Amino acid sequence: RSGNGDSRGALVVLEGLDRCGKSTQSGRLLTYLKGLGHSTELWRFPDRTTSVGQMISSYLSSQSQLDDHTVHLLFSANRWEKRSLMERKLKSGTTLIVDRYSYSGVAFSSAKGLDIDWCKAPEIGLLAPDMVVYLNIPPEKAAERGGYGDERYEKLEFQRKVSHSYQVLHDASWKMIDACQPIEDIEKQLQEMVSDCVRICQKGKPLSFLWS
Ligand code: 2DT
Ligand code: MG
């Protein structure tokens, strides 16, 4: 089912606070789509395997200090360095499930006080997702889930600000899922949403670009 004619893969982005269940759900969604015979890959940003990604990773683990604007641009550069591969994969019929994307970039940096339009600017021209799913959880509930790790942003106080930024950033096209539900319920809802999206992309929906 891949690589035929105009049929392309879907770009599906999962967003949400730390500990909202993105990684669990994106893994399950990958298994589901592969099981249906769709060529599918799971990506995540930041992609810590590149040299830019290693700078980001060292910043997040507080092994290095960077100006807020600088690290914002590194996160964006980390998406730009994957852009052409992303386009090739989608055009060859592979669906990409992406755990965090430009919305995390804007939500986390604007939560630090950076101007939202300044934050959005370097994302212009990246591929726009065909679907954004927001796993919605109150920051307090997320914090109760087995605790955060000890990376830079994993603090309740900051996650409250990020939650607010996501509320400012989201639009009517985002699919909202109540992330406090049982894992299997979330999984089912996600499967339904994504199946529709994959079908529409297979039928030749054109790729679009941020911010749209
Ligand atoms: P993970 O916990 O998902 O590895 O993310 N972040 C992420 C940003 O500040 N800007 C971005 O552009 C992206 C993609 C969210 C590590 C942290 O990095 C934040 C949490
Ligand atoms: Mg994290």
**Amino acid at the residue 195:** S
* Pocket flag, ligand 1, residue 28 (CB < 6 Å): no
Q: Which residue has the tokens 């990246």?
A: 126
Closest ligand 1 atom to the C-alpha of 108?
9
* Pocket flag, ligand 1, residue 108 (CB < 6 Å): yes
C-beta separation of 32 from 94 below 8 A: no
Tell how far the Cα of 100 is from the centroid of ligand 1, in angstroms. Answer: 7
* Pocket flag, ligand 1, residue 105 (CB < 6 Å): yes
Looking at residue 2, what is its pLDDT?
Answer: 45
Looking at residue 1, what is its pLDDT?
Answer: 46
What CA–CA distance (Å, rounded) separates 206 from 182? 35
Looking at residue 146, what is its pLDDT?
Answer: 80
Looking at residue 150, what is its pLDDT?
Answer: 87
Closest ligand 1 atom to the C-alpha of 152?
17
Domains of the chain (ranges plus CATH)? Answer: 11-202 (3.40.50.300)
Residues 152-182 have pLDDT tens digits of: 999 999 999 999 999 999 999 999 999 999 9
How many other CB atoms are there within 10 angstroms of residue 180's CB atom?
Answer: 15
* Pocket flag, ligand 1, residue 21 (CB < 6 Å): no
* Pocket flag, ligand 1, residue 8 (CB < 6 Å): no
Tell how far the Cα of 148 is from the centroid of ligand 2, in angstroms. Answer: 8
Residue among 108, 118, 120 whose CB has most ligand 1 atoms within 8 A, to mutate:
108
Half-sphere exposure of 86 (CA within 13 A, CB side): 27
Residues 32-47 have pLDDT tens digits of: 999 999 999 999 999 9
Residues of the chain with pLDDT under 50: 1-3
Q: Which residues pair with 95 in a beta bridge?
A: 40
Looking at residue 5, what is its pLDDT?
Answer: 58
Looking at residue 173, what is its pLDDT?
Answer: 97
**Residue 113: both structure tokens together:** 């006080």
Name the closest-CA residue to atom 4, ligand 1.
46
Looking at residue 147, what is its pLDDT?
Answer: 78
* Pocket flag, ligand 1, residue 100 (CB < 6 Å): yes
Looking at residue 149, what is its pLDDT?
Answer: 86
The pTM assigned to this predicted structure is 0.97
Name the closest-CA residue to atom 12, ligand 1.
105
